[in-house]
Amino acid sequence: MSDTVYSVLVIDHDVEVAVDVNRALLGLPVTLLRAGDWAEGISSYREFLPQMVLLDSELDDGKVLLHDLFAGDSALEVILMTDRWTQTGLQAAVAREASDLLAKPLDPSKVRQLVLGLIAQAETRRHTKELENQLLQACQFQGLVGRSPRMLEVFSRVRRVAPLFETALITGRTGTGKELIARALHNLSPRSREKFVVCNCSTLTETLLESQLFGHVKGAFTGATHDQAGLFEYANHGTLFLDEIGELSAAAQAKLLRILQSQELQRVGSPVSSTVDVHVIAATNRNVRELAAEAKFRDDLFYRLSMIEIQIPPLADRKEDLALLQRHFLQHFSTKYGKTLKGISRRAQILLTRHAWPGNVRELENVIGNACMMAQGKVICDMDLPEAIRLQTRPDSGTGFMTLEEVQSRHLEYVLKLVEGNKARAADVLGVSRATIYSMLARHGTEVVQKNNPSA
């Protein structure tokens, strides 16, 4: 066992309950916290993040899942305490995600046994977290994070070609990290000490594109009041990254091809050629092969650029990396915002796993960054996530986001399964009448197998 000290929070108006628990835990590496009411209990939970909560059932309204009371943290062990212990009460407590229901006065041996089990589980989680942190460090490459086979192949290809490339083409959907791959190629090349210049071709207007890339001389066009070097000259001896290369005009493509072949350029309005020494990395989220086949992109330029091609897989095809990326961004934004966030609740992780991530890693970064800002406690819970993530449908439905009616139907089905089809109990949990339950069932057509009480 490690030297870690674990914490147990007792929420009960009777101070003697906490005294009994403290006596039962003597000699164990446990710190006991006490709260006399619900508001104080929630405040203590958010501040100290105890591994176990012993909650007086009189302070629990019995209407929602217990972990929802504690930010959806399903790693937390919640134990209910009651003066009126029954087998039915135990079943109802477990249905609401309680770990156990203890009878008052508390049995010291039972309390000690439960906490020893907690310590064993917490030790396993602590060791797992240490391994995950080590894995995160081992799976970082030039600012990118990944351990999936496809990303490891991308990293390997970058290492092999970086010392040798003159031109390269990076393809992948928006948000997959094309610029990071381009920077990795530059950083691992012999030109790493020279400039790395970025140009987003999609942001350049047609009239200024050639001037921006190749420069111009005074009087070349209205407003050209002095000679101006272009990005190729600015990046001389270094690397120029041309993002969204598929947006270049035919005229710009022809000039780009000439530079790649001869390393010579002409400023707009000048008959004089000058020599440059620039490595070029192009990137696009479009299918350049299709553009070339449709005569929208020059074949010869495509072949020149794609001598070395690196394809980045979308996040949906590398779900093995999702947990690592979540941890990476959590650490980054915790530091950036000056917070001590310790993790993401299991329920939030499930929602993140279900999402299709059409915006890829950039979308995940934005979601985790937003959640870090919204989080009030030390754990990101499902309610800290954007609404689009929380109300999404399961991926096998193929219908996109759920409507409010679908959310209501899903939740009703979930509660009915927890209470084994008992509609009276479901009505109590949801805080509605039994008639409302029947009305909702008729409207949504929800089918639930009733195991114990078909007539309920």
User: Can you spell out the DSSP letters for 403-439?
Assistant: PHHHHHHHHHHHHHHHTTT-HHHHHHHHTS-HHHHHH
Domain contains 306: yes
Residues 274 and 367 in one domain: no
Q: Is 312 exposed, middle or buried (0-12, 13-18, 19+ CB in 10 A)?
A: buried
pLDDT score of 119 = 85
Domain contains 46: yes
Q: Which of 447, 195, 151 is nearest to 321 (CA)?
A: 151
Residues 28 and 66 in one domain: yes
Residues 64 and 184 in one domain: no
Domain contains 453: no
CATH number of the domain that 119 lies in? 3.40.50.2300
Containing 231, the helix (H) or strand (E) segment is helix 231-234
Residues 206 and 233 in one domain: yes
Q: Is 102 left (phi over 0), alpha (psi -120 to 50) or beta?
A: beta
Domain contains 13: yes
Domain contains 337: yes
Q: Which of 97, 101, 47 is nearest to 73 (CA)?
A: 97
Dig out the tokens for 103 from the structure. 């009878």
Domain contains 190: yes
Residues 379 and 414 in one domain: no
pLDDT score of 423 = 80
Asked if 208 and 349 touch (Cβ cutoff 8 Å), the reply is no
Residues 64 and 146 in one domain: no
Domain boundary among 116, 136, 156: 136
pLDDT score of 233 = 92
79 DSSP β-pair partners: 54, 100
Q: In whole angstroms, what separates CA 308 from the centre of its chain?
A: 31
pLDDT score of 181 = 97
pLDDT score of 2 = 59
Domain boundary among 136, 169, 194: 136
Structurally, the chain folds into a number of domains equal to: 4
Domain contains 456: no
Digitized pLDDT (tens) for each residue of the chain, 456 residues in all: 556 788 999 999 999 999 999 999 999 999 999 999 888 988 888 888 888 899 998 887 766 667 667 765 656 788 999 998 988 888 888 888 788 899 999 999 999 998 998 888 878 878 887 888 888 888 999 999 999 999 999 999 999 999 999 999 999 999 999 999 999 999 999 999 999 999 998 888 777 888 888 888 888 787 788 888 889 999 999 999 999 998 888 888 988 998 999 988 888 888 888 899 999 999 999 999 899 989 889 999 999 998 899 999 999 999 999 999 999 999 999 999 999 888 888 788 889 998 989 999 999 999 999 999 998 878 898 889 988 888 875 444 444 455 566 667 767 776 676 666 778 777 766 767 776 777 777 665 544 434 444 444
CATH number of the domain that 440 lies in? 1.10.10
**Euclidean distance between CA atoms 391 and 395, whole angstroms:** 12
Residues 385 and 409 in one domain: no
**Euclidean distance between CA atoms 100 and 94, whole angstroms:** 7
Q: SS3 of 348, please?
A: helix
| pTM of this prediction exceeds 0.85 | no
**Euclidean distance between CA atoms 440 and 432, whole angstroms:** 11
Residues 66 and 194 in one domain: no
Residues 157 and 300 in one domain: yes
pLDDT score of 447 = 45
Residues 439 and 384 in one domain: no
pLDDT score of 451 = 40
pLDDT score of 448 = 44
Strands (E), 312-442: 343-344, 379-380
Domain boundary among 311, 326, 359: 311
Domain contains 451: no
Domain holding 414, by residue range, is 404-444
Strands (E), 83-162: 100-103, 140-141, 144-145
Dig out the tokens for 377 from the structure. 């406690």
CATH number of the domain that 147 lies in? 3.40.50.300
Phi, psi of 311, rounded to the nearest 5 degrees: -100, 125
pLDDT score of 340 = 86
pLDDT score of 366 = 94
Q: Which long-range contacts (CB under 8 A, 24 or more apart) does 356-360 make?
A: 356/316, 356/395, 357/314, 357/315, 357/316, 359/174, 359/175, 360/173, 360/174, 360/175, 360/176, 360/177, 360/314, 360/315
Residues 188 and 266 in one domain: yes
pLDDT score of 442 = 67
CATH number of the domain that 350 lies in? 1.10.8.60
Dig out the tokens for 201 from the structure. 């071709």
Amino acid at 130: E
The set of residues, in sequence order, having a beta carbon less than 8 Å from that of 230 and lying 6+ positions away, is 211, 212, 213, 214, 215, 216, 265, 267
Tell me the residue length of the chain: 456
Residues 123 and 146 in one domain: no
